[in-house]
Amino acid sequence: MRSRGAIGVFDSGVGGLSVLQHIRQALPRERLIYVADSGHVPYGDKSPAFIEARSLAIAQFLVEQGAGAIVIACNTATAAAVTALRSRFPLPVIGMEPAVKPAAVATRSGVVGVLATVGTLESARFAALLERYGEEVEIVTQGCPGLVEQVEQGDMDSTRTRALIERYTAPLLARGADTLILGCTHYPFLAASIRRAVGDDVALVDTGAAVARHLQHRVDAELPPGSGSEASEQFFTSGDPAEAARIMSILWGSEVAVLRLPQQYL
């Protein structure tokens, strides 16, 4: 009988752990493999061709590790590479995109703010989202250089982090946004600091739980039943494993060991 395989998840860095947490809750018996491409973070200022090449390499590694499904836990990588990955690999490939639809439903003021990387905001996939929902609500976007790097350093609430958040949220609030989309998987780790900056009346929308539910549906429909005996997590990085272990342990909520990707995938 064909093995169900592991769930492979990757991001430009540690931000995708926010999605992995939802996946673990939705699929408590699965073997999870996570790759942080921290040696090349952030993706937001990289070319689409570079991001596609990195995504294909990491996906190949995950498949070789036994992944039966892949989650691109990164909005920027999804925009640049999800089509290529779905063409290359005959297995479920789940991507991310900013949660414009639920935010459009949630807003009371009719103004939705999007916090995201420049790469996500400039992508054709995001442009299609704006075209689809932009007639229903006013969508105001804000690129957030520097926020990914703060999370990569484990710095969620320093003076610098709070200053960046206030700088990026202020224009959205000034336009009347009462709903903010966290359009990067790193940003849920900044939710407490964002909440302090914007107040309790502004809704924060994150897509991690919805992605986990979609993955659960695809896995149950398309993969062989799992035995439940392999439940575990493995963590890899293209950066410094010791530093990655320090940061990932903070974000994951318990101590984790992190291995370096093999040389051919760096």
At 226, the pLDDT band (50, 70, 90 cuts) reads low
* In the predicted structure, residue 1 carries a pLDDT above the cut 70: no
CA-to-CA separations, 244 to 13, 149, 180, in angstroms, rounded: 9, 13, 29
∠ CA(16), CA(19), CA(21), 5° rounding?
Answer: 110
Max CA pair span of the chain: 58
Domains 6-96+208-265 and 100-205 share a fold: yes
Mean pLDDT of 121-145: 91
Residue ranges per structural domain of the chain: 6-96+208-265, 100-205
At 228, the pLDDT band (50, 70, 90 cuts) reads low
CATH of span 100-205:
3.40.50.1860
Indicate if 74 belongs to the active site. Answer: yes
Task: Considering the candidates 19, 32, 85, 184, report the single residue annotated as catalytic.
Answer: 184
Can you give 180-230 as a three-state secondary structure string? Answer: EEECCCCHHHHHHHHHHHHCCCCEEECCHHHHHHHHHHHHHHHCCCCCCCC
Higher pLDDT, 228 or 192: 192
Q: What is the pLDDT of residue 212?
A: 96
CATH of span 6-96+208-265:
3.40.50.1860
Q: What is the pLDDT of residue 207?
A: 93
pLDDT in tens, 158-209: 999 999 999 999 999 999 999 999 999 999 999 999 999 999 999 999 999 9
Q: What percent of the chain has pLDDT over 90?
A: 88
Mean pLDDT of 26-44: 95
Indicate if 144 belongs to the active site. Answer: no
Mean pLDDT of 78-88: 97
pLDDT in tens, 43-68: 988 999 999 999 999 999 999 999 99
Q: What is the pLDDT of residue 44?
A: 86
